[in-house]
């Protein structure tokens, strides 16, 4: 499943291809994605306007148009975005095709069809049902450790679960959460309310580091063929604890342990990450 760093990498690639182009044709070959694709709505909101930029909110890609309407894309489990020309034959899972004014195309390919293709009317992006309840963006400057501390102050849930909750913070993902908690020296089962402002400062710093490292990796592995490989949501990061149960901690050599929290594996060093 594509994770935040991969989506951010794709956003950067799209930002190089799309601005200045406008859509002259929209074809929906299969509308049965996670939410049905509304072809009429896409046409009404997006045709014949220039694209001005590409943003990201959580794992949604947001293509902005000159009159302030937006195309909203989510890659789901196996979605890919391909930048091709009209001449290239359709692949059987090319479900939505946007043709630009210069015969190039953006194709939304998604074998498992858990992705999303939708549009928002001018000025209505924030109210979109998929975006309205999203939590803080880890890489935005406005997301401060003070804000996280304040919002977590009354929450007794384990910090690991909170990091995985998109209503609190978006795009951290299971592997990144384990890794950031290790580097911050925080046990994954620590009740969120117990963490001090200093803990949140350290933790937010480590979350950003692990995400940025993955984005840098992505930047070097993706070429100008805009692609998201459904198998490699986590690029080839070297991981300190994730997937290393029973191996020695890189810092103290204690055996890494695994813990299951809300159905997901957390990996931690019992010595570097003491329970609160």
Contact positions toward Zn ion, by CB under 5 A? 249, 251-252, 254, 269, 271-272
Q: Which two tokens stand for residue 50?
A: 């220039």
- Give CA–CA dist 244/207, Å, rounded: 19
Find, among 75, 102, 81, 48, the residue nearest to 171 by Cα.
Answer: 75
Q: Which is closer to Zn ion, CB of 11 or CB of 187? A: 187
d(CA 79, CA 91): 13
Q: How far is the CB of 186 from Zn ion (least distance, A)?
A: 13
Pairing of strands 116-120, 70-74: antiparallel
**How near is the Cβ of 205 to Zn ion at its closest, in Å?**
19
Residue 166 makes CB contacts below 8 A (sequence gap 6+) with 58, 134, 135
How far from the centroid of its chain's Cα atoms is residue 159's Cα?
A: 20
The residue whose Cβ lies closest to Zn ion is 249
Compare residues 50 and 276 and give the one whose CB is closer to Zn ion: 276
- Nearest distance from C-beta of residue 185 to Zn ion, angstroms: 9
In the bound state with Zn ion, the residue whose beta carbon lies nearer, of 25 and 274, is 274
Order of all β-strands in the sheet with 80-85: 23-28, 94-100, 104-109, 80-85
Look up 92 and say whether it is catalytic.
no
* In the complex, minimum distance from the CB of residue 31 to Zn ion, in angstroms, rounded to a whole number: 51
Nearer CB in complex with Zn ion: 127/247: 247
Crossing angle, helix 174-184 and helix 197-221, to 10 degrees?
130
Angle at 132 between CA 226 and CA 174, to 5 degrees: 60
| 59 flagged as catalytic | yes
What is the token pair recorded at 229?
A: 């490989």
Q: In this structure, are residues 74 and 61 in contact, taking their beta carbons and an 8 Å threshold?
A: yes
Of the two residues 60 and 183, which places its CB atom closer to Zn ion in the complex? 183
Nearest approach, Cβ of residue 132 and Zn ion (Å): 41
Q: Which of 56, 59, 160, 244 is catalytic?
A: 59
Comparing CB distances to Zn ion, the nearer of 83 and 267 is: 267
Would you call 160 a catalytic residue per the annotation? no
Q: Which residue out of 55, 201, 216, 264 is catalytically annotated?
A: 264
Positive or negative: CA dihedral 79, 81, 82, 87:
positive
The 10 Å Cβ neighbour count of residue 3 is 23
264 catalytic? Reply is: yes
* Minimum distance, C-beta of residue 250 to Zn ion, in the bound complex (Å): 8
Are the C-beta atoms of residues 62 and 82 closer than 8 Å to each other? Answer: no
Give me the active site residues, please. 2-3, 59, 264
């Amino acid at each position: 499943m594509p994770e935040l760093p991969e989506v951010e990498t794709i956003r950067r690639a799209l930002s190089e291809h799309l601005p200045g182009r406008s859509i002259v044709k929209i074809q929906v070959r299969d509308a049965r994605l996670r939410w049905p694709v509304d072809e009429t709505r896409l046409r009404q909101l997006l045709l014949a306007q220039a694209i001005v930029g590409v943003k990201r909110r959580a794992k949604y890609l947001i293509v902005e148009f000159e009159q302030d309407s937006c195309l909203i894309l989510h890659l789901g489990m196996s979605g890919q975005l391909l930048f091709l020309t009209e001449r290239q034959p359709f692949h059987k899972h090319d479900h939505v095709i946007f043709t630009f004014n210069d015969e190039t195309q953006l194709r939304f390919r998604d074998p498992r069809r858990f992705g999303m293709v939708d549009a928002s009317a001018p000025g209505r992006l924030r109210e979109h049902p998929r975006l309205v309840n999203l939590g803080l963006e880890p890489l935005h400057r406005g997301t401060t450790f003070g804000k996280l501390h304040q919002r977590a102050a009354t929450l007794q849930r384990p910090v690991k679960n909170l990091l995985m909750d998109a209503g609190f913070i978006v795009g951290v993902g299971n592997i990144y959460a384990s890794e950031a908690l290790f580097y911050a020296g925080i046990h994954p089962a620590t009740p969120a309310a117990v963490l001090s402002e200093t803990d949140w400062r350290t933790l937010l710093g480590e979350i950003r580091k692990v995400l940025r490292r993955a984005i840098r990796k992505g930047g070097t592995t993706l070429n100008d063929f805009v692609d998201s490989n459904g198998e490699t949501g986590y690029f080839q990061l070297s991981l300190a604890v994730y997937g290393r149960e029973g191996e020695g901690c890189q810092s103290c050599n204690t055996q890494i342990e695994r813990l299951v929290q809300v159905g997901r594996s957390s990996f931690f060093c019992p010595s570097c990450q003491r329970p609160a």
